[in-house]
Chains A and B, each alone.
Chain A
């Protein structure tokens, strides 16, 4: 379908080019010439801006990102070329009513998944009751036997969650993936808002956008609420793998915003099951660690023995209750893509409620019937490796070649537990400023959920865009970019 935009206004002919819809839900337009109500101020603005003005704004935004060092390093050349994180100029807008449902749905989902984690690492009632098969739980790549019977502060396993939502062609938000380990990207949400305010001040006034700037304060108080008992003025630190990590910018950004120390493994010392950091004054006790390192690398005594990113003895200090880790270890069992298929049952089991946000139909390749069904129709399905994230280890059937499908068929047959399949979903599209014109690109939405004393969700999140035309992959490692996400006041 091709929508001819209204070209009667001056200067707009070049910009709002014929806007092509491919059957996906479009965030801005519901039919020819008709932008949705929440997008009208933006649409009006676009009608009045020439492509040159937009290009200038884009350059201004790029420069601002570049000077702030909001970049990632392109590996594979000596000079360490730095690129800015790709972003799109036009905001993605969500109405108050849509957001209200998302918020309720996420709270329900995270509460249930957290109860699930507690159960899995303690009594295992859900397994005994036959709701989720133990064979799936215990074969999860990220299941941590070491966590059995360990009490975590406030029984909170998942302190920071980034849940990926997509909008299906009917216009409903559905959950695509839970990220319960070390979700990243929140710094792009925060910095792109700051840049957008410089560029479109008038639009903010017209639209009544709910603020997100309090995220860092909310994160800090969430982390402090996990401190061991008796530590009334807890020392909270952020543990980073170091400046060569691709998310290093985010680590420094969050540490600075929260006013806490950014530590590396080599700054930490564990003595008598207490964690200290090495300061110029001597050793200082650490109470809460917001760790941005995977489970595997946290403690070479217990996990990956060759790792120098973590601290020797950290896990014993954790087990003794002398330090809190956020997120807890072993949370990956609940965002395994095979467990994902059971989340509606998990919600029903612990909360006795129906899920507010639906998931995507998921076929388990460990089930012979479902496996045969999918293997015969690989060109219709998206196949994902269960323990991976970041868009790696994925086959998108309709966009794949015969050879890729053959390779995946072999992989599935070799390790059926390692794969799931989902029908290909046409993600919603949103208008993006590309090559001097406005074109639709596929987007998803990652809101960030904080869980401490209570659950906090800042209104918005990271809208990720598949900047390549027609692509359905939004991950930044695969050519994705971001958009500022505006949730409107009711």
Chain B
């Protein structure tokens, strides 16, 4: 497929996943702040901002405006509405490469969330947008899986979705575990809900909320779709499929990077990493970035001379 098309599909998928992640985190945070606890509302909003818009967190965010900023900030690059816009814009560039159903769904969602024209103090409307995106995202995944050939284009979509998810999960875990000494059960429920993981966690580990078990579940559980391990496994699958399709290109670099990254979560136990969790998470994020650049270099923006060597 065209390199430009692969790139747009990848970014369409990343943006959608980013919006989806933000909607999960905001829904959970909004639920949390209604309960009094050791953490103040401000601290909780700050944690949400930190995990969703690291750039904005450096400045002083007014907690009263945090929800508005994260849902509909017209300036910031991270708000949900912006991300849906980014997904749609990328989809628009490659409309012939995705199914009509996918386009119609994404297009409709875009017009719906933009139709709200949110005002800063309208929490209820902001939360409606959050719900719309939440549902819209599940539906989009379903439509994508059901209406496209599971060919190269689909693998690039998968790659974008799971690389974004892996990074988002690491950032989120980092934000919660940075202050875990003060966390109470409600906060852990908030973290699990942010990853759509509460019920799945209870099924696997009972409702007993222990930080190391939670870290184990969200990082290393290969069966849970919102775990880092699961995401890296899907990236590995997608990249292997793409490189198998591509006969003559030198793809070792990409294969080496994804192999190394995957082994970081495949062959460890939670006890080995929990002490240095912050460094561990940062390393995963860095390696995801490296992988992203390698994929770009090998499949998207390769020099012409290289193409004629083969």
Taking Cβ atoms with an 8 Å cutoff, the residues of A that contact B are: 66-69, 242-243, 249, 252-253, 255-256, 261-264, 266-267, 269, 271, 277-283
Contacts and interface: CB of A to CB of B under 8 A. Distances in A.
Given A69-B104, A280-B246, A282-B307, A267 B92 contact: no
Contact of A281 (B4, B100, B248): B248
Interface of B: 1-6, 92-97, 100, 103-104, 107-108, 111, 152, 156, 242, 245-249, 299-300, 304, 307-308, 310
Contacts of A262: 94, 96-97
Contacts of B92: 69, 243
Contact of B304 (A66, A242, A249, A271): A271
B153 to A, nearest CB: 10
A267 B2 contact: yes
A252 B3 contact: no
Contact of B103 (A69, A263, A264, A271): A69
A267 B95 contact: no
Contacts of A255: 96
A275 to B, nearest CB: 13
A67 B102 CA distance: 11
B93 A280 contact: no
A280 B308 contact: no
A249 B92 CA distance: 9
A280 B152 contact: yes
Given A267-B4, A278-B4, A283 B95 contact: no
B136 to A, nearest CB: 14
Name A's interface SS.
mixed
Contacts of B1: 261, 279-280
**Most A Cβ at <10 Å: residue of B2, B3, B103, B152:** B2
Given A262-B96, A267-B2, A277-B2, A282 B104 contact: no
- Give 5 closest A-B pairs by Cβ, nearest first: A252-B95, A256-B96, A255-B96, A280-B299, A252-B96
B108 A283 contact: no
5 contacts: A66-B111, A262-B94, A269-B304, A279-B3, A280-B242
B107 A271 contact: no
B104 A67 contact: yes
A281 B308 CA distance: 12
Contact of A264 (B4, B108, B304): B4
A281 B248 CA distance: 7
B72 to A, nearest CB: 13
Contact of A282 (B96, B97, B248): B248
Contacts of A243: 92-93
A67 B100 CA distance: 10
B3 A267 contact: yes
A271 B93 contact: no
Given A249-B95, A261-B1, A283-B308, 7 more contacts: A68-B104, A69-B104, A271-B304, A278-B4, A280-B2, A282-B310, A283-B307
Given A267-B2, A271-B304, A282-B248, A256 B107 contact: no
A126 to B, nearest CB: 41
A271 B249 contact: no
Contacts of A261: 1-2, 5, 96
A66 B308 CA distance: 44
A487 B93 CA distance: 35
Contacts of B104: 67-69
A249 B93 CA distance: 10
B55 to A, nearest CB: 22
Contacts of A253: 95-96
Contacts of A264: 4
**Most A Cβ at <10 Å: residue of B5, B245, B247:** B5
A278 B96 contact: no
B107 A67 contact: yes
A431 B96 CA distance: 35
A68 B2 contact: no
A248 to B, nearest CB: 8
B2 A278 contact: yes
A460 B152 CA distance: 38
Nearest to B247: A281
Contacts of B97: 262
Nearest to A66: B111
Contacts of B246: 280-282
Given A68-B104, A269-B304, A271-B308, A280 B95 contact: no
A66 B92 CA distance: 14
B108 A67 contact: yes
Contact of A280 (B3, B107, B304): B3
Contacts of B249: 281-282
B154 to A, nearest CB: 13
Contact of B2 (A252, A271, A279): A279
Contacts of B96: 252-253, 255-256, 261-262
Nearest to A237: B2
B250 to A, nearest CB: 11
Contacts of B308: 271, 283
A281 B245 contact: yes
B25 to A, nearest CB: 27
A162 B2 CA distance: 30
Contacts of A252: 95-96
Nearest to B153: A280
Nearest to B248: A282
A266 B4 contact: yes
A464 B96 CA distance: 26
Given A267-B3, A283-B307, A68 B100 contact: yes
A283 B308 CA distance: 8
A280 B238 CA distance: 14
A56 to B, nearest CB: 20
Contacts of A269: 304
B15 to A, nearest CB: 16
A66 B104 CA distance: 9
Contacts of B248: 281-282
B97 to A, nearest CB: 8
